[in-house]
Amino acid sequence: ATPVALVAGTGRGSQLGILLSGPQVLEEARGVDAVILDKTGTLTEGRMALAAVTVAAPSGEPLPAGLSPERALALAGAAEDGSEHPIARAIADAARAGWTRPSAAAQSDEAAPSGTLPTPVAGEAAHSGGAAPSGSLLPATGFVSSAGGGVAATVDGHAVVLGKADHLVAAGVPVGPEALAALATAEEAGATAVLLGVDGAVAAVLSVTDTVKPSSAAGVAALRELGVTPWLVTGDNAAVAGAVAAEVGISPEHVVAGVRPEGKVERVRALQAAGRRVAMVGDGVNDAPALAAADLGLAMGAGTDVARASADIELMGSSVKQVAQAIGLSRATLKIIR
């Protein structure tokens, strides 16, 4: 390849908001025939909003910690303040805004399509503490984040853990059948749901929802036109993953849900072992290892610093359409050269 052509291609890329870490990236992009797309923040806006706080199992039994929804959210929001994950931002913002449970008038059974309306718990008055004043969060210390799992912190003197069931179990919070049933109910309603543990017991299921970017379906279609197979690999649950895949046009057999960050790397390697040249597209800390393992790593410009540092290409428009443009650009540049 002539340096002049590669430099010209690099310049064309930057005009399109496709920033290459070096001209050699154009050669790395050339043979890509499989693209793994992260969900949250890549195919979706990554701007999640809190939808429900559930403190009881579907049977109506209170979850073991027996907290009110307001208290549960206040503890959760403070623990999430140190995380830049979209789930964390949704929960911390809602806690700061003093999110309140739906009014009593809205609490008839008919008004609860998801079955996750918060249920006031008998005896909740026995638990001291409540929400922080509106606009602020409770004090948190000892924040720890585990990518693709969740967070933990000490809030208002309580041990708070938030995330997937196995993340709570690893932190010493037993997750019983009533908590798993409440989690499943929230996920079946199409939400991304996480568990809250307080002082060693499950206190709530928090549901958040996100929206698919308007450009994602066109981006996936453009990849297919280039002969590239699109995959969706996510840490989120299968119900949400399937719904997003259907909306953007990814085949169900190319959807992998519920994976840890190492699971994204394993999928990259499995496709490489099958003879594919693999691009990975992501935005999060959880995507960084797979971005580095792929033949070509592309990070959303709106993504985390870690993801951008692990990638070969930064997409300033944060759009899947730009993934197809980057591959097209490399093919056009190298066709001129060879």
Q: Which residues bind ligand ADP (CB under 6 A)?
A: 38-40, 80, 83, 85, 87-88, 148-151, 162-164, 192, 194, 234-236, 284, 286
27, 72, 126 from 157: Cα distances, Å: 54, 14, 17
Token readout for 285 is 């800390």
83, 117, 146, 311, 332 from 206: Cα distances, Å: 16, 11, 18, 32, 47
Rule CB under 5 A: say whether 41 interacts with Mg ion: yes
Q: Is the Cβ of residue 83 or residue 310 nearer to ligand ADP in the bound state? A: 83
Q: Which one of ligand ADP, Mg ion, none is in contact with 85 (Cβ closer than 5 to 8 A by kind)? A: ligand ADP
Which one, of 84, 229, 116, lies nearest residue 183 by Cα? 116
Q: How far is the CB of 284 from ligand ADP (least distance, A)?
A: 5
Q: How far is the CB of 147 from Mg ion (least distance, A)?
A: 10
Residue 38 a catalytic site member: yes
Residue 129: alpha-carbon gap to chain centroid: 31
Instruction: Report the run of H or E that residue 282 belongs to, with start and end.
Output: strand 278-282
Q: How far is the CB of 162 from ligand ADP (least distance, A)?
A: 5
Q: Is the Cβ of residue 64 or residue 163 nearer to ligand ADP in the bound state? A: 163
Q: How far is the CB of 253 from ligand ADP (least distance, A)?
A: 19
Contacts of 278 (CB under 8 A, 6+ apart): 32, 34, 35, 36, 268, 271, 272, 294, 295, 296
Q: Which of 38, 70, 156, 236 binds Mg ion (CB under 5 A)?
A: 38
Neighbours of 22 (CB within 10 A): 10
> Do 203 and 67 contact (CB within 8 A), yes or no?
yes
Q: Which one of ligand ADP, Mg ion, none is in contact with 101 (Cβ closer than 5 to 8 A by kind)? A: none
CB-based closest residue to ligand ADP: 235
Name the catalytic one among 38, 283, 287, 312. Answer: 38
Q: Is the Cβ of residue 70 or residue 283 nearer to ligand ADP in the bound state? A: 283
Contact set with Mg ion (CB under 5 A):
38, 40-41, 283-284
- Catalytic residue set: 38
